[in-house]
Amino acid sequence: MRCSINLSLHSRARFLSPALLALACSLLSSCSQEMASQPKYLPLAPSSFFADGRSARPLVKGVVPRGSLAQEALAIPPNSNDFPIPVTRDLLLRGRERYNIFCSECHGITGDGNGIIALRGFRHPPSYHIDRLRQAPTGHFYDVMTNGFGAMQDYSAQVPPRDRLAIIAFIRALQFSQHAPATALSSADRDALSHAADAPPADSSTPADKDPHE
């Protein structure tokens, strides 16, 4: 019994198949969509599909931004001495942390240019304690981190604008630490300094004290 039904279905399908095929072909050809002209909304085109009539949809709640105008507004032009945010203890601590992570391996913990990578053969960075870099505007440091400088790659991907400012603030503190006037010291430190002056001078000339760009 089952066998005879199967047979009759089979024979009917064989009879119908040319007609079905023709129908399928005509349907397919009338619905076919050219790859080159796909339905889409052009930017800011109106839409009757959404209740507010806009095809551009508002951001979903909780979207996480990548980069931001507020961060870009912190940029300092290369020849400017501006510093757009207050220098606080927290900013300096953040700057020290970021500097030690991203800069000290070449520039050295004190900024003398004797980081471990330079000692192992990479081009020696100049010391931050040469006159030219002591007098360089804050914008120069911002520019070097953003765009790189000579053999040094840029750090714009690793160090966002606010951290670049934190690092600049810390480099200024490093520069001050190696070039502070004696009057900035406490009286105890000044005493220690004058006793140290009686001792034989230490040899402080290192190759990093020389500026390769002079």
Cα–Cα distance measured from residue 39 to residue 45, given in angstroms and rounded to the nearest whole number: 12
**Residue nearer to ligand HEC on the CB measure, 145 or 169:** 145
Q: By the 8 A CB rule, do 115 and 106 touch?
A: yes
CB 208 to ligand HEC: min, Å: 11
CA-CA distance, 148 to 45, in Å (whole number)? Answer: 41
> Quick check: 107 binds ligand HEC (CB under 6 A)?
yes
Q: In this structure, are residues 83 and 76 in contact, taking their beta carbons and an 8 Å threshold? A: yes
SS3 63: coil
Interface with ligand HEC, residue 155, by CB under 6 A: yes
Residues 116 to 135 in contact with ligand HEC, rule: CB under 6 A = 117, 122-123, 125-126
CA-CA distances (angstroms) from residue 129 to 58, 107, 155?
51, 11, 21
Contact mark string toward ligand HEC, 133..152, x via CB under 6 A: --------x--xx---xxxx
Q: Is 195 in the site for ligand HEC (CB under 6 A)?
A: no
Binding mask 60-99 for ligand HEC (x = CB under 6 A): ----------------------------------------
Take residue 108 and report the two structure tokens written for it: 């050295």
